[in-house]
Chain A
Amino acid sequence: MKVAMIGWEYPPFKVGGLGTHCYGLTRSLADKNVSIDFYMPKTKHSSSSDKDNLVIKEVGETEIFPYDRPEDKKLAGQFFESVYRYNDLLVQKVNGKYDLIHCHDWLTMKAGVALKEKMGIPLVLTVHSTEYDRSGWLYPNDWFINIEKEGMEKADKIIAVSHFTKRVIVEKYGINPDKITVVHNAVYPIGESEKKNIVLFLGRLTIQKGPEFFLKAAKKVLEHEDTRFVVAGIGDMLPRLISQAIDLGISNRVIFTGKLTEEEVKHIYQISSVYVMPSVSEPFGITALEAISAGTPTIVSKTAGVSEAFQNCLRVDFWDTDEMANKIISLLRYEPLHKTLAEQGNREINIFTWDRVADNTLDVYRGIT
Chain B
Amino acid sequence: MPSVCFYFEVHQPMRLNRFSVFNIGKNDESLSTYFDSKLNQKIFEKVAKKCYLPTNRLLLDLINEFNGKFRISFSLTGTFVEYCERFMPEVLDSFKDLFKTGAVDLIEETYYHSLSSLYDELDEFEEQVKMHHQMIKRIFNYEPKVFRNTEAIYDNRIAKKIEELGYKGIITEGSEKVLGWRSPNFLYKPVNANLKVLMRNYKLSDDVGFRFSVRDWPGFPLTADKYAYWMSHCEGDVINLFIDYETFGEHQWTETGIFDFIKHLPRAVLKHKHLDFVTVSDVVDKYNIMGEIDVPWAISWADEDRDVSTWLGNDMQIACFNELRDIERKVKKQDDEDLLHAWRLLQTSDHLYYVSTKGFEDGNVHAYFSPYDAPYEGFINYMNILQDLKQKVM
A residues touching B (Cβ–Cβ < 8 Å)?
220, 224, 311-312, 314-315, 322-323, 325-327, 329-330, 333-337, 339-341, 344
Q: Do A327 and B22 form a contact, CB below 8 Å, given A336-B315, A340-B316?
A: no
Are B315 and A339 closer than 8 Å at their CB atoms? yes
Q: Do A326 and B380 form a contact, CB below 8 Å, given A224-B22, A340-B357?
A: yes
Q: Name B315's closest neighbour in chain A (CB-CB).
A: A336
Q: Name B380's closest neighbour in chain A (CB-CB).
A: A330
| A326 CB → nearest B CB, Å | 4
| B322 CB → nearest A CB, Å | 10
B347 within 8 A of A: no
Given the complex, which residues of A lie within 8 Å of B319, measured CB to CB? 334-336
| A42 CB → nearest B CB, Å | 46
Q: Do A334 and B379 form a contact, CB below 8 Å, given A311-B374, A315-B374, A340-B316?
A: yes
Q: Name A332's closest neighbour in chain B (CB-CB).
A: B21
Q: Name A341's closest neighbour in chain B (CB-CB).
A: B376
Given the complex, which residues of A lie within 8 Å of B380, measured CB to CB? 326-327, 330, 334, 337
Given the complex, which residues of A lie within 8 Å of B20, measured CB to CB? 322-323, 326
What would 14 A/B residue contacts be, using CB atoms closer than 8 Å? A224-B21, A224-B22, A312-B357, A314-B377, A315-B374, A326-B22, A326-B384, A330-B380, A330-B384, A334-B379, A336-B316, A337-B383, A340-B379, A344-B357
Given the complex, which residues of B lie within 8 Å of A315, measured CB to CB? 373-374
| A33 CB → nearest B CB, Å | 33
Q: Name A311's closest neighbour in chain B (CB-CB).
A: B374
Given the complex, which residues of B lie within 8 Å of A224, measured CB to CB? 21-22
B234 within 8 A of A: no
A152 to B123, CA, bound (A): 69
Q: Name A339's closest neighbour in chain B (CB-CB).
A: B315
| A315 CB → nearest B CB, Å | 7
Are B22 and A334 closer than 8 Å at their CB atoms? no
A326 to B377, CA, bound (A): 11
Q: Name A334's closest neighbour in chain B (CB-CB).
A: B383
Q: Name B376's closest neighbour in chain A (CB-CB).
A: A314
| B16 CB → nearest A CB, Å | 14
Are B383 and A330 closer than 8 Å at their CB atoms? yes
Given the complex, which residues of B lie within 8 Å of A330, measured CB to CB? 21, 380, 383-384
Q: Name B318's closest neighbour in chain A (CB-CB).
A: A336
Partner of A329 from B21, B376, B377 at Cβ < 8 Å: B21
B67 within 8 A of A: no
Are A340 and B314 closer than 8 Å at their CB atoms? yes
| A320 CB → nearest B CB, Å | 11
Given the complex, which residues of B lie within 8 Å of A339, measured CB to CB? 315
Given the complex, which residues of B lie within 8 Å of A322, measured CB to CB? 20, 22
A340 to B374, CA, bound (A): 13
What is the 8 Å Cβ interface bit string for chain B, positions 312-327, against chain A (1 contact, 0 not)? 0011101100000000
A71 to B318, CA, bound (A): 54
| B71 CB → nearest A CB, Å | 45
